[in-house]
Amino acid sequence: MYRGGVRTMTPRLFSSRGHTLLEMTIALALGMLIVTGLLSLYRGQRAAFDRAADAARIYDAGSVALDVLGQQLQMAGFASGRDSNVEAPIFGCAQGRVVGAESGASCESLAGRSDGLQVRYAADVVSTWPSTGSVPTDCIGQTVSDAIVTNRFYAKASTSTGEPELYCEGGGRQAQPVLEGIERIRVMYWRAGSPSALDASAIARDRWRDVYAADICVLVRGFAIHAKQRTNYTDCNGSPAYADDGRVRQVFWRRVTIRNAPAMTSGGTQ
How confident is the model over 189-214, as pLDDT tens digits?
A: 999 989 999 999 999 998 998 999 99
pLDDT digits (tens, 9 = 90+) for 218-227: 999 998 887 7
Instruction: Tell whether the model's pLDDT for residue 6 goes beyond 60.
Output: no
pLDDT of residue 171: 76
39: in domain: no
pLDDT of residue 165: 97
26: in domain: no
Rounded Cα distance, 28 and 192, in Å: 77
139: in domain: yes
Which has the minimum average pLDDT: 11-15, 107-111, 135-139, 145-149?
A: 11-15
pLDDT of residue 195: 94
Q: Which of 173, 185, 182, 179 is nearest to 236 (CA)?
A: 185
pLDDT mean over 154-169: 94
Q: Which domain holds residue 188?
A: 46-265
35: in domain: no
pLDDT mean over 233-253: 92
51: in domain: yes
Instruction: Tell whether the model's pLDDT for residue 5 goes beyond 60.
Output: no
Contact, 140 vs 129, CB < 8 A? no
pLDDT mean over 18-31: 78
Find the helix or strand (DSSP H, E) in which 264 lies.
helix 262-265
pLDDT of residue 25: 82
pLDDT of residue 144: 86
Share of the chain above pLDDT 90, in %: 48
164: in domain: yes
Look at the chain and report how many structural domains it folds into: 1
Of residues 62 and 18, the one with the higher pLDDT is 62
245: in domain: yes
Find the helix or strand (DSSP H, E) in which 50 lies.
helix 12-75
pLDDT mean over 11-32: 69
pLDDT of residue 41: 80
166: in domain: yes
Rounded Cα distance, 18 and 188, in Å: 80
Of residues 18 and 68, the one with the higher pLDDT is 68
